[in-house]
Amino acid sequence: MELNKYIDHTLLKPEASEEQILKLCDEALEYRFYSVCVNSCHVPLAVDKLSDSDVKVAAVAGFPLGAMSTASKVFEAREAVEAGASEIDMVINVGALKEGRYEYVLHEIAALVDVCHGYPLAYGDVATSGNASLKVIIETCLLTDEEIVKACELAVAAGADFVKTSTGFSTGGATAEAVSLMRNTVGNKAKIKASGGIRTLADAKKFIELGADRLGCSAGVQIMKENE
């Protein structure tokens, strides 16, 4: 198992500086992580730094609350993809999901799928290059088991590539129970990203064994050192 290739090396703190983003990229290059995950304002810097490597750049959209308008999430994702991001991690509208506005949630995810996969949007926007993946953050700590299942079903129906547990900025992160439930729900129709609170080698191995295809962590370097 190439543990490093499971890791999205992450820095999403609001106070993150350009110097810290460059350090994140240097660490990703040293340990050959799958990607770095950054706020969208840092995408051009990270893309430039990693341009001669196979380390991808992931950007978040609608982060961390998910309570922005669909149009604002679409704009942020489109700008990041056009700047070179290979993956977008979007946050669903959690309130809409919890009150049963499933069509809203479905259509919003589908709009971000269109941006990432390169389809023209219904209201006439020009298609992007279409080479990006979409991860859908469902914020499991705020959901019941039934809501987790529904969020996963909506993400799959909309054509998303991944469902992701958490932003890491709410009341909790990834749990074994949530990852297992997500894997059982999506089967092989989508991949799983576990994120939030993954700080040790034991944590990383646990979530991979439960079916996670990717790990979002700011402690990637420490995990790799523990794995030496």
End-to-end Cα spacing for the chain: 13
The Cα-based distances of 58 to 16, 18, 108 in angstroms read 16, 16, 19
DSSP state of 32: T
Q: Angle, to 10 degrees, between the axis of helix 102-117 and the axis of helix 70-82?
A: 20
Top-tier CATH class for 3-226: alpha beta
Active site residues: 89, 164, 193
Residue ranges of the chain with pLDDT lower than 50? none
Residue 127 confidence (pLDDT): 64
**Dihedrals φ, ψ of 15, to 5°?**
-90, 5
**What's the pTM?**
0.95
| pLDDT tens per residue, range 16-32 | 999 999 999 999 999 99
| pLDDT tens per residue, range 115-126 | 999 876 655 566
Report domain extents, the chain: 3-226
CA triplet 174, 96, 185: central angle to 5 degrees? 45
Which of 200, 154, 208 lies closest to 179, judged by CA?
Answer: 208
| Strands (E) located in the chain | 7-11, 35-38, 56-61, 87-91, 133-137, 162-164, 191-195, 214-217
Tell me how far apart the alpha carbons of residues 184 and 178 are, in angstroms, rounded to a whole number. Answer: 10
